[in-house]
Amino acid sequence: MIQHDILIVGGGLAGLRAALGLCAHWDVAVLSKVHPVRSHSGAAQGGINAALGNAPGGRDDSAEKHAFDTIKGSDYLADQAAVAKMCGLAPEVIYELEHWGAPFSRFPDGTIAQRPFGGAGFPRTCYAADKTGHVLLHTLYEQAVRRGVRIYDECAATRLVIEDGRCHGVIAYDLKRGRLEAFAAQFCVFATGGYGRMYRNSTNALINTGSGVGMALLAGVPAKDLEFVQFHPTTLYGTNILMTEGARGEGGYLLNREGERFMARYASKMMELAPRDIVARSIQTEIDEGRGFEGGYLHLDLRHLGRKKILERLPGIRAICIEFAGIDPLDEPIPIQPGQHYSMGGIDTDAAGKTCIENFYAAGECACVSVHGANRLGGNSLADTVIFGRLVAEDINSRKGHGDFPPDESVLAAHLQRQTSQMDRIFARKHGTPHQRIRDELRQLCAEQVGIFRRGEELGRAVARIAELREQYGDVCCRAPAGPFSLEILHVLELESLLWLGEIIARGALARQESRGSHFRTDYPVRDDARWLKHTLARLDGERIALSYREVDISLYEPKERTY
Amino acid sequence: MSPKSALTESLPRSVAARPAEAGPPSGVDVPAQTYCFEVLRYGQTPGDRPRFQAYDLVVRKKMSVLEALLTLQEEADPSLAFRCSCRGAVCGSCAMSINGKLNLACRVQLHTLATRRIVLEPLPGFEVLKDLVVDMDPFWEKYNRVRPWLHAEISAAQENRMSESERRRIDQYVQCILCGVCYAACPARQANAAFAGPAALAKLYRFVADAREGRSRHALQQQDAAEGVWGCHTIMECVGACPKNVRPADGIRGVRRKLVSQKLQRLLRRKTS
């Protein structure tokens, strides 16, 4: 059995930042399904928000204004004290990243450059051209190498072990050796990313299967606000590769088939820079009402920005367009459509990243504090990862010397045994349902019936169908034999939790009879604070999902109608 | 509607100058064509020998080599092993040899290849673990050896000032996604297994050329060796191979220049003292 003081599952920004904060005081190990630099954090493009006030037009910016924009953007579902904490820490964290070597783009005075982003009152988004996630991920990995952080890469956690209200570690599938291992630890931190691959049309990497949220749920930790799923307005038509909001931040236009800047009809003040939920719905409405191009897309036009600006600020976008769509945004508009992008919901944590289990934490996209509420603002997810990664580390550090959580090896051994027999059962089944048949139907179902626009009737059908798919899962088989780099068994195991999460999203969305942020019900098109200003919590009660609700912290700003 | 007319219809009307070879966006229907993939298989059973396995795939949508591999894995052969994650050329997982050229499988669109017979092999110069999956550990060890981090005092009160021209100096090296393509392409590294290789040395220069860097002269001298920058024979394969337009050879030359100028300074100082 492998033992460490602290196990961090996930080697993206949140996991690495937590490791950097902990490694001087504890024996820390990071478990990651892929090598850390392959993590999906690296695909973030546009930037990271902090009220530095560097932009000429942004001198009056402040952490309070950042917090207010975030809360308003969240459609008032974010917990306000947690948001204030995040926004207050953001400048310090950016300076820290910069000192660690992050190569941010610069203003002429040498300060970190900031660009306008959706839903923000000031140019607040620090960036490194359109590759901000990439440079931050590499910077944190470099610091992890410097500090000699122990990394188990290509090692996928499959089971979180919680017994008697205490976390003992995880069971993980070592892909290089093709076998299960038990990892024992005093504290576990999940930083496993979102559940975007639940949807057919997602910007997410293939690894973003929501496995961390699923493992926590199966171990008894509630999931929060899963029905809030962000659709990014601009993903490349066909492949759904992300086209950063920075493209609009730099002045790009959204045009329908008539060449009209249609956002004027939906958000006359902020136009293309309204928050993502609003822009995504506007685009979908244009397409649904016949003002899109055949096949279902619109145009993101950058041509008027000029060659210099595109090459300097959006070189990655241009490369993607050329390589994946065969078009050059210098000469042609980019065909775009909305696509699933971010999971606002996740493992229920407090503002320190702690869950209801005393020695189990979560940070980043897999966690739901909640600082994003019903709709995350662009540029706030990178801030979330590094800030809450750091806060988790600080909280665990503050507990040093205040009681130990010695993991029980016999408990872990029992879970290892159970996981082994579950896998053996799947391997033994030679003629069952192929996992991808179930997965593809789930993806299709979520995209069509639990998507941008939702309706009670469809949601009800989705709930029923997902429950049926879960029954089919009982018969799922794995055709690839066991062994090194046999990924199929991992996909099969992950599908189980994906089905639970899918059903929770659909159930939560069906129950929530209102429209708030990313959750839009055509049969309940307005926000209803009297009944629904509350977080959804989902637990597994045997083979049943139990929903309950919790108050939202609105200690700073009274909820108001959202206009842009 | 025939596939061809569907294709014309879906093209944006305002766009007349679409290059003929570009075709429709990825994921869009195209007339069905059969591709033959010949994939190098190895490591399925202990002691097996490398062999090519052929798969036919009827392609109805515009797709990348990676998408084709994923389809083959799901529909034809679930034991087929390869790495992938982002499918958008940023994570660096899916580097391999495609018809003899090294590239990321996600970034090569099938219709851009001159042939419908596609040979897929693991990155050369690495030990193969299984099929298209290679052992990247030696690559990471060499990366670690250049001490790949900014050597600087850390205080978080304010940012260091840095000009855009200073940032631009390191920009191309910052683009590196550590996919291993240049390392696999480098003939000097193939001849000298101890040579750090282009990626690690380009990473080193990314820090050496950073205006904020405070690395000591001594720290850099480790690379003043045949395993370091002098192992490069300026054959320049790395420059042509990089899928992210990095020119690792420029970085190696930069480190060499820095080492030489440090030596000259020392000589001059000795002479004057």
Of A159, A200, A276, A562, which one is the catalytic site residue? A276
Q: What predicted TM-score, i.e. pTM, was given to this entire model?
A: 0.95
**Structure confidence by residue, pLDDT tens digits, A22-68:** 999 999 999 999 999 999 999 999 999 999 999 999 999 999 999 99
* Nearest residue to A144 (alpha-carbon basis) of B144, B211, B252: B144
**Tokens linked to A270:** 């902020």
Distance CA A326, CA A317 (A): 12
Chain B residues in contact with A34 by the CB 8 A cut-off are 83, 85, 91, 93
| The predicted structure's pLDDT at residue B9 | 31
Taking CA A548 as the corner, what is the angle to CA A547 and CA A553, rounded to the nearest 5 degrees? 135
Half-sphere exposure in the Cβ direction for B216 (13 Å, CA): 3
Sequence-distant (6+) residues with CB within 8 A of B261 are none
Q: Is residue B273 very low, low, confident or very high in pLDDT (cuts 50, 70, 90)?
A: low
| The predicted structure's pLDDT at residue B29 | 76
Q: Is A469 helix (H, G, I), strand (E, B) or coil?
A: helix
User: Are the Cβ atoms of A486 and B81 closer than 8 angstroms?
Assistant: yes
Sequence-distant (6+) residues with CB within 8 A of A561 are A527
Query: B29 vs B76, which has greater pLDDT?
Result: B76
Taking the alpha carbons of A397, A401, A405, A409 in that order, is the dihedral positive or negative? positive
Pairing state of beta strands B29-41 and B117-121?
Answer: parallel
Radius of gyration of chain B (CA): 23
| The predicted structure's pLDDT at residue B154 | 76
User: Are the Cβ atoms of B109 and A206 closer than 8 angstroms?
Assistant: no
Chain A residues in contact with B83 by the CB 8 A cut-off are 34, 38
Q: Quick check: A16 pLDDT over 50?
A: yes
Pairing state of beta strands A253-255 and A298-301?
Answer: antiparallel
| The predicted structure's pLDDT at residue B19 | 33
**In terms of CATH architecture, what is B9-134?**
Roll (3.10)
Please state, for a pLDDT cut of 90, what percent of chain A lies above it. Answer: 97
**Structure confidence by residue, pLDDT tens digits, A434-467:** 999 999 999 999 999 999 999 999 999 999 999 9
Q: Is A499 helix (H, G, I), strand (E, B) or coil?
A: helix
Sequence-distant (6+) residues with CB within 8 A of B122 are B40, B42, B96, B97, B128, B131, B132, B133, B134
**Tokens linked to A397:** 């550090």
**Structure confidence by residue, pLDDT tens digits, A169-198:** 999 999 999 999 999 999 999 999 999 999
Environment class of B96 (CB within 10 Å of its CB; exposed 0-12, middle 13-18, buried 19+): buried
| The predicted structure's pLDDT at residue B210 | 97
Taking the alpha carbons of A127, A128, A129, A130 in that order, is the dihedral positive or negative? negative
Q: Is A230 helix (H, G, I), strand (E, B) or coil?
A: strand
CB B118 within 8 A of CB B101: no
A324 touches chain B (CB under 8 A): yes
User: Are the Cβ atoms of A324 and B88 closer than 8 angstroms?
Assistant: yes
Distance CA B155, CA B53 (A): 56
Residue B125 to chain A, least CA–CA distance (Å): 19
User: Are the Cβ atoms of A108 and B164 closer than 8 angstroms?
Assistant: yes
Q: Is residue B10 very low, low, confident or very high in pLDDT (cuts 50, 70, 90)?
A: very low
| The predicted structure's pLDDT at residue B156 | 66
Q: Quick check: B270 pLDDT over 90?
A: no
Sequence-distant (6+) residues with CB within 8 A of B68 are B35, B37, B57, B59, B110, B118
Q: Quick check: B173 pLDDT over 60?
A: yes
Write the DSSP assignment of chain B as a string of letters. --HHHHHHHTS-TT-----TTT-SPTTSEEEEEEEEEEEEE--SSTTPPPEEEEEEEEEEE--BHHHHHHHHHHHT-TT-----S-SSSSS---EEEETTEEEEGGG-BGGGSS-SEEEEEPPTTS-EEETTEE--HHHHHHHHHT--S-------SSPPP--HHHHHHHHHHHT----SHHHHH-HHHHH-TTS--HHHHHHHHHHHT-TT----HHHHHTTSSTTTGGG-----HHHHH-TT---HHHHHHHHHHHHHHHHHHHHHHHHH-
Distance CA B149, CA A202 (A): 33
CB A280 within 8 A of CB A118: no
Distance CA A163, CA A169 (A): 10
Q: Which of A354-363, A500-509, B259-268 has the lowest mean pLDDT?
A: B259-268
Section A118-134 average pLDDT: 97
Section B234-263 average pLDDT: 96
List the domain boundaries for chain B.
9-134, 137-272
Which residue from B minimizes the CA distance to A44?
B90
Write down the mean pLDDT value for chain A: 97
**Structure confidence by residue, pLDDT tens digits, B95-115:** 999 999 999 999 999 999 999
Q: Quick check: A312 pLDDT over 80?
A: yes
* Nearest residue to B185 (alpha-carbon basis) of B248, B116, B255, B250: B248
Q: Quick check: B15 pLDDT over 80?
A: no
Q: Is residue B4 very low, low, confident or very high in pLDDT (cuts 50, 70, 90)?
A: very low
**Structure confidence by residue, pLDDT tens digits, B74-99:** 999 999 999 999 999 999 999 999 99
| The predicted structure's pLDDT at residue B27 | 60
State the virtual CA torsion across B161, B166, B171, B173 in degrees, nearest 10. Answer: -100
**Structure confidence by residue, pLDDT tens digits, A266-296:** 999 999 999 999 999 999 999 999 999 999 9
Chain B residues in contact with A287 by the CB 8 A cut-off are none
User: Are the Cβ atoms of B81 and A327 closer than 8 angstroms?
Assistant: no
Sequence-distant (6+) residues with CB within 8 A of A430 are A477, A479
Query: B5 vs B195, which has greater pLDDT?
Result: B195
Please state, for a pLDDT cut of 70, what percent of chain A lies above it. Answer: 100
Distance CA B69, CA B131 (A): 12
Residue A325 to chain B, least CA–CA distance (Å): 4
Q: Quick check: B166 pLDDT over 90?
A: yes
Section A531-543 average pLDDT: 96
Query: A166 vs B13, which has greater pLDDT?
Result: A166
Tell me A106's DSSP state: B
Chain B residues in contact with A38 by the CB 8 A cut-off are 83, 85-86, 91-93
Q: Is A528 helix (H, G, I), strand (E, B) or coil?
A: coil
Q: Is residue B153 very low, low, confident or very high in pLDDT (cuts 50, 70, 90)?
A: confident
Q: Is residue A393 very low, low, confident or very high in pLDDT (cuts 50, 70, 90)?
A: very high
Q: Is A538 helix (H, G, I), strand (E, B) or coil?
A: strand
Radius of gyration of chain A (CA): 22
Using CB atoms and an 8 Å cut-off, which of residues 207-236 of chain B contact chain A? 207, 210, 212
Taking CA A384 as the corner, what is the angle to CA A381 and CA A386, rounded to the nearest 5 degrees? 115
Q: How far is CA A315 from CA A12, A328, A465, B3, in A?
A: 23, 11, 43, 33
A90 touches chain B (CB under 8 A): no
**Structure confidence by residue, pLDDT tens digits, A206-253:** 999 999 999 999 999 999 999 999 999 999 998 999 999 999 999 999
Interface test with A, best of B150, B169, B172 (most A CBs within 10 A): B150
The ipTM of this complex is: 0.95
Tell me A516's DSSP state: B
Distance CA B222, CA B219 (A): 6
**Tokens linked to A392:** 């988790």
| The predicted structure's pLDDT at residue B26 | 53
Q: Quick check: A106 pLDDT over 70?
A: yes
Chain A residues in contact with B170 by the CB 8 A cut-off are 103
**Structure confidence by residue, pLDDT tens digits, A254-274:** 999 999 999 999 999 999 999
Pairing state of beta strands A453-454 and A155-163?
Answer: unpaired
* Nearest residue to A75 (alpha-carbon basis) of A384, A514, A522, A449: A514
CATH number of B137-272: 1.10.1060.10
Q: Which residues pair with A242 in a beta bridge?
A: A235
Section B232-250 average pLDDT: 97
